[in-house]
Structure 1
């Protein structure tokens, strides 16, 4: 049931009270009335108080109400993050990816400065430390003069090894920072991430994030000619049957597999890689096609 307090400003933060505001926006956007939403879970006055920042709800009521308006926690979290975007700049992974693709160092450096400013106020905040490491790692893709320190590497690796459950945040973190992790530790962490005993590993969003992370790690192993772990990960993804909806992921796997074969001495594999390039060009993936074209030029110039 709802918790009522005479002085909410003293009891709850603005972030906590914003949960009700975001819920109301989602409810109205889905066309549900308060009566339909409340159902048998809580009363309409309780729902109204929650949505208007007068009370908060205990967790099981809140999750039930989300189900009543056909919204899952992932969708709510995304809406909530955007509502508080001035407070948390790392919630827009698409913007970060676009900054890397556009080689926009100014935008990435701006994000990094904002995180570092927050760290000066809360130097022991684990999430902020990881966010800073992630941004520095993304900067490396744009300008390889950027790096992370040995202490940051150790902090990152220790954090990842301590995980029992890997969330999307953790998977993306590994994918962004993999190039700074020793290949032996990287192979161990990768096996740790795809442990089938994890509770959420079969969730749609988690599986997709893992696929994208593994594709990046395969590329790292192949570039460093660490073939056995690359082969195992390629086989893992081939057996996982990437859904046809994710054609880009399937194409990237074909390309990485061909690159693996090329590095192992199969000169015919370049033909497959060039076909992948043509598909990217045909689909209008100009930024990725440019990167692949440059990589193919280097491979032809310096054959294995």
Structure 2
């Protein structure tokens, strides 16, 4: 139990509480967590809300219990009952796949309500745009205004470092962005000087975003930028861990060829559909089957 400490806020005290939860879950003692960086009493005071740690000590003791900041942030946000980046993205994605408009509208209403009390909050503005762009896939009455689009593109152009949130936001809003700006911003996102570009979850987010943007370019018959992005993914060799993304690249590459007049490419697209069905990816398979039907590609019922 943590005694209420008026010196620190609830959010500050939660850092020590969550650290203790993770330390115990990992099976580390306070002495092992403290290591050579700080003393055991300092760890104890930190976990019981009597003190907080300076940043370099906190990062060190996290490392001592084999927890990275990404994991800690997720646990911390869940403890405070706020929405972590991963949880938010998962909930939104599942709502889109199941066409759960009610859930998406609920998320939008919560963000809009928060914005009414804090209209200049940049994060809330971006969340509002993000949810509306996702809602558009299931209900085209939801659109992004010109002012919102300008705010969004200016935000992307001002970025010096593309994080997980930014990459996913970009991928989900890509269909609304001017095609030339989309190509320019995509080049900025995949620039090799990004500090975190080698992180596993960042790599995966970039791959998923680029795959979505390829689809946008192909649908708008912008074949040259689509070709460049296909080559970018081919050159970077999507790891076998990312089997779904590898399959999506094969599908997008075939779609690219099909849209350029190669009717034989439809055979590859149908094979991708068969793999999705075999792997029991029923929701994605339904979407692909619907696309193939729209393009008058005959698909077996089984």
Match of residue 117 from structure 1: 113
Match of residue 257 from structure 1: 253
Task: Check if 1:102 corresponds to 2:63.
Answer: no
Deviations 1:234-266 (A, max 9, x none): 000011111101100000000000000000110
1:84 Cα offset (Å):
2.1
TM-score normalised to structure 2 length: 0.94
**Alignment counterpart, residue 236 of structure 2, candidates 217, 234, 240:** 240
User: C-alpha distance in 1, partners of 2:102/2:219?
Assistant: 28
Return 73-82 or 7-16, whichever deviates more: 7-16
Distance 1:75 1:120, change over 3 A: same
Distance 1:274 1:66, change over 3 A: same
TM-score normalised to structure 1 length: 0.94
Aligned length: 296
Long gaps (5+) in structure 2: none
Equivalent residues of 1:258, 1:270 under 8 A apart: yes
Task: Check if 1:277 corresponds to 2:273.
Answer: yes
Match of residue 181 from structure 2: 185
Long gaps (5+) in structure 1: 1-6
Task: Check if 1:160 corresponds to 2:148.
Answer: no
**Alignment counterpart, residue 66 of structure 1, candidates 28, 37, 62:** 62
Task: Check if 1:212 corresponds to 2:208.
Answer: yes
Deviations 1:252-285 (A, max 9, x none): 0000000000001100000000000000000000
Deviations 1:63-120 (A, max 9, x none): 0011100011111111112222346688431111101101001101111111111111
Match of residue 25 from structure 2: 29
User: C-alpha distance in 2, partners of 1:30/1:296?
Assistant: 48
Deviations 1:179-223 (A, max 9, x none): 110110000000010111121112111111000000000001001
Match of residue 289 from structure 1: 285
User: C-alpha distance in 2, partners of 1:299/1:87?
Assistant: 39
User: C-alpha distance in 1, partners of 2:215/2:23?
Assistant: 43
| Structure 2 SS opposite 1:153 | helix
Give the RMSD, CA atoms, in angstroms. Answer: 1.7
1:226 Cα offset (Å):
0.6
User: C-alpha distance in 1, partners of 2:7/2:87?
Assistant: 26
User: C-alpha distance in 2, partners of 1:192/1:175?
Assistant: 13
> What are the equivalent positions in structure 2 for 1:36-47 lying under 5 Å apart?
36-47=32-43
Deviations 1:153-192 (A, max 9, x none): 0000000000000000100010111111011000000001
| Structure 1 SS opposite 2:194 | coil
